[in-house]
């Protein structure tokens, strides 16, 4: 099992996951079996890089798509909101992954110019799955 631990973080369904890293004098290796090791089977991935320091990206939620964020280099501050609570997460290593479920609003602030974000997504691209209006996000139907 790849995950060594995962923690609820006060945002509906979101979790911080410590991925197992094999560390020896030659470096660190994280091996992920994509069909079984993550909270979902990824259909898509993103790589975000070359972001000017201080830039904030994201500003959207998804209706059905789950995402897993890992910082490959540098440091990225992720802010999440589930409409009730807000929490921030400092991502600064590949073996610390943040699972963002659907119906959670997220932003990512790039804290250094060498920051690189890897995102796995549970679904193929669908423009209709993006909610980029915060008022619309707050009015989404949710489980009580």
Nearest approach in angstroms of CB 104 to its own copies is 20
Would you say 83 or 94 has its CB closer to its own copies?
Answer: 94
Beta carbon nearer to its own copies, 63 or 114? 114
Q: How far is the CB of 116 from its own copies (least distance, A)?
A: 5
**Among residues 108, 3, 95, which one has the least CA distance to residue 49?**
108
Dihedral pair phi/psi, residue 136, rounded to 5°: -60, -40
Among 59, 60, 62, 90, the active-site one is 60
- Displacement of CA 55 from its chain's centroid (Å): 17
Q: Tokens 């479920």, residue?
A: 101
DSSP 78-119: EEEE-SS-EEEEEE-STTEEEEE-TT-EEEEEE-STT-EEEE
> C-beta of 82: minimal distance to its own copies in Å?
25
To the query of whether residue 60 is one of the catalytic residues in this protein, the response is: yes
Please give the residue ranges that form the binding site for its own copies (CB under 8 A). Answer: 23, 25-35, 42-52, 55, 57, 70, 72-74, 93-95, 110, 114, 116, 118, 124-125
124 or 144: whose CB is closer to its own copies?
124
8 Å CB contact between 126 and 66? no
What positions carry a catalytic annotation? 60
């Amino acid at each position: 099992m790849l995950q060594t631990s995962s923690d609820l973080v006060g945002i509906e369904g979101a979790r911080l996951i410590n991925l197992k890293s094999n560390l020896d004098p030659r470096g660190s290796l994280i091996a992920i079996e994509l069909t079984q090791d993550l909270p979902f089977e990824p259909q898509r991935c993103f790589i975000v890089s070359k972001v000017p320091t201080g830039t904030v990206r994201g500003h959207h939620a998804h209706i059905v798509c789950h995402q897993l964020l890992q910082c490959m280099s540098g440091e990225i501050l992720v802010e999440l909101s589930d409409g009730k609570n807000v929490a921030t997460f400092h991502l600064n290593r590949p073996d610390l992954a943040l699972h963002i479920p659907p119906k959670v609003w997220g932003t990512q602030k790039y804290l250094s110019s060498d920051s690189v974000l890897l995102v796995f997504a549970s679904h193929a691209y669908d423009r209709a799955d993006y909610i980029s209006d915060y008022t619309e996000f707050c009015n989404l139907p949710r489980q009580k």
